[in-house]
């Protein structure tokens, strides 16, 4: 019988944000989204900035089911032996993002400018992060979570 779930862990420098059973996960790699299901071949990958979506398994050990979204930024991931581990420098559950704060962060990031390429890269990254936070906050508010 095929596996119906895999273990997923989301770890930041501050600690473990998630440790559970999932039936599906979509993770933002540096070059696009990677989907994970039970039985996935082993892989190691570099994370980018993006939305990670986890659909939780609905089985006898984890009856919660449902899904949850996270903002993740930079780091690495590994899928091996039915375990997906995501090690990231930053992760925030969408339900923890405050829409007003995200909107303020975006407004501040959009005001910034620079003629130096390296500084503009940082400003662009801050804008992208703030836009994603705002989108996730609005999505979480729409779901009532």
Per-residue pLDDT 10s for the chain (145 aa) are: 467 899 999 999 999 999 999 999 999 999 999 999 999 999 999 999 999 999 998 765 544 678 999 999 999 999 999 999 999 999 999 999 999 999 999 999 999 888 888 888 999 999 999 999 999 998 876 655 4
User: How is residue 52 written in tokens?
Assistant: 């990670």
Q: Are 70 and 51 in contact (CB under 8 A)?
A: yes
Say whether 89 sits in a helix, a strand or coil: strand
**Taking the model in full, what pTM does it have?**
0.86
Say whether 82 sits in a helix, a strand or coil: coil
CATH of 6-94, one of 3.40.1350.10, 2.60.15.10, 3.40.80.10, 3.30.1330.40: 2.60.15.10
Q: What is the CA radius of gyration of the chain?
A: 16
What percentage of the chain's residues is helix, strand, coil (to nearest 5)?
30, 45, 25
Spatial CA neighbour of 66 closest among 97, 24, 94, 7: 24
Residue 142 confidence (pLDDT): 65
Q: Are 65 and 54 in contact (CB under 8 A)?
A: no
Q: Are 6 and 21 in contact (CB under 8 A)?
A: yes
Rounded Cα distance between 83 and 95, Å, is: 25
Residue 143 confidence (pLDDT): 59
Say whether 141 sits in a helix, a strand or coil: helix
């Amino acid at each position: 019988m095929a596996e119906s779930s895999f273990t997923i862990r989301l770890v930041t420098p501050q600690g473990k944000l998630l440790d559970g059973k999932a039936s599906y996960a979509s993770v933002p790699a540096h070059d696009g989204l990677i989907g994970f299901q039970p039985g996935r071949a082993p892989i190691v990958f570099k994370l980018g900035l993006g939305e990670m979506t986890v659909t939780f398994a609905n089985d006898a050990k984890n009856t919660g089911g449902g899904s949850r979204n996270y903002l993740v930024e930079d780091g690495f991931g590994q899928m091996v032996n039915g375990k997906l581990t995501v090690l990231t420098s930053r992760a925030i559950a969408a339900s923890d993002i405050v829409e007003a704060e995200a909107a303020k962060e975006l407004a501040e990031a959009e005001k910034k400018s620079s003629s130096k390429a390296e500084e503009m890269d940082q400003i662009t990254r801050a804008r992208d992060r703030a836009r994603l936070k705002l989108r996730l906050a609005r999505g979480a508010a729409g779901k009532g979570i």
